[in-house]
Amino acid sequence: MKSESQILAQTREFVKTKMSNDAGGHDWWHVARVVGNAKTIAETEGGDKFVIELGALLHDVADWKFHDGDVTAGPKIARDWLREMSVNDSIADKVTEIVEHISFRGGTNKHVMQTLEAEIVQDADRLDALGAIGIARVFAVGEALGKTIYNPDIPPRSYDNFKAYRNNLKDSPTVNHFYEKLLLLKDKMNTSTGRSMAEYRHGYMEGYLKEFFAEWDGEK
Ligand code: ADP
Ligand code: NI
């Protein structure tokens, strides 16, 4: 029987090798930051720390954007890994829910997380798309997707289904992503600790955008 800390250590190594080839958005350091955010949130919100850390570690193990849009790849990889680690079914179910439902999918993901642990990991993941780190990531991912930084002729849009969001990925400039996703996140937070962290990071991004447009127009 492995101890919880052995399982976490092995999972960390597993995720590190799995994610080492990913572009800036979902590399190992994103995962490490999500673990850190989740621990901070859990300090005030509670929850089972083992489930939270396993869920945070495995949450992006297969991103649909890099698996031809296949959203079932991640949960399967996570489930197989947890079985290999002999993690019991009730913990494995909670972790798999996190991996299966964490993604934003253009705002078309309507799943309501069933456990406090899932709510915390989802908040932790959303936080990493916000603030100073969020700004760095959005431009890194935008570049990887072959997008331009900004084009005032292409206004931001909203998406009523996942397919439209996926198909539009390359056409919409990176700055639009702030309006299409990032600035919407603070109102989608699950926990009050997550929300107040998101509000702080949101304010930082608003300030950034204000500077961006002022500079775009040559005002300063
Ligand atoms: P989720 O896994 O919650 O669906 P994403 O994979 O959409 O989250 O986002 C992960 C990171 O990639 C975020 O930092 C986000 O800003 C960035 N990103 C996602 N989609 C785009 C896009 N179309 N253009 C630029 N950055 C993006
Ligand atoms: Ni993530």
Distance from Cα 43 to the centre of ligand 1, integer Å? 27
Q: What is the structure's pLDDT at 215?
A: 97
Q: What is the structure's pLDDT at 100?
A: 86
> pLDDT band at residue 152, thresholds of 50, 70 and 90?
very high
Q: What is the rounded average pLDDT of the residues 36-43?
A: 98
User: Model pTM?
Assistant: 0.89
Q: Is the pLDDT of residue 63 over 80?
A: no
Residues 6+ apart with CB under 8 A from 24: 136, 137, 140, 141, 143, 144
Ligand 1 atom index nearest CA of 109: 4
85 φ/ψ angles, rounded to the nearest 5 degrees = -85, 0
Of the chain, the end-to-end C-alpha distance in Å amounts to 63
Q: Is the pLDDT of residue 107 over 60?
A: no
Is residue 115 a contact partner of residue 186, using CB atoms and an 8 Å limit? no
Which one of 71, 138, 139, 171 would you pick to mutate in the ligand 1 pocket, going by the greatest count of ligand atoms within 8 A of its CB?
138
Ligand 1 atom index nearest CA of 60: 2
Ligand 1 atom index nearest CA of 129: 14
Which residue is it, tokens 């289904």? 161
Give the number of whichever ligand sits closest to the CA of residue 55: 2
| Stated length of the chain | 220
Q: Is the pLDDT of residue 68 over 90?
A: no
Q: Identify which has the larger pLDDT, 133 or 171.
A: 133
Q: Which residues line ligand 1 (CB under 6 A)?
A: 25, 63, 103-105, 125, 129, 134, 137-138, 141-142, 145, 147, 169, 174, 177, 182
Q: Which pLDDT tens digit goes with each residue over 2-23?
A: 999 999 999 999 999 888 766 6
Six-digit token pair at 153?
């002729």
Q: What is the rounded average pLDDT of the residues 126-146?
A: 95
What domains sit in the chain, N to C, each tagged with a CATH number?
A: 4-216 (1.10.3210.50)
Q: Is the pLDDT of residue 24 over 70?
A: no
Q: Which pLDDT tens digit goes with each residue over 196-205?
A: 999 999 999 9
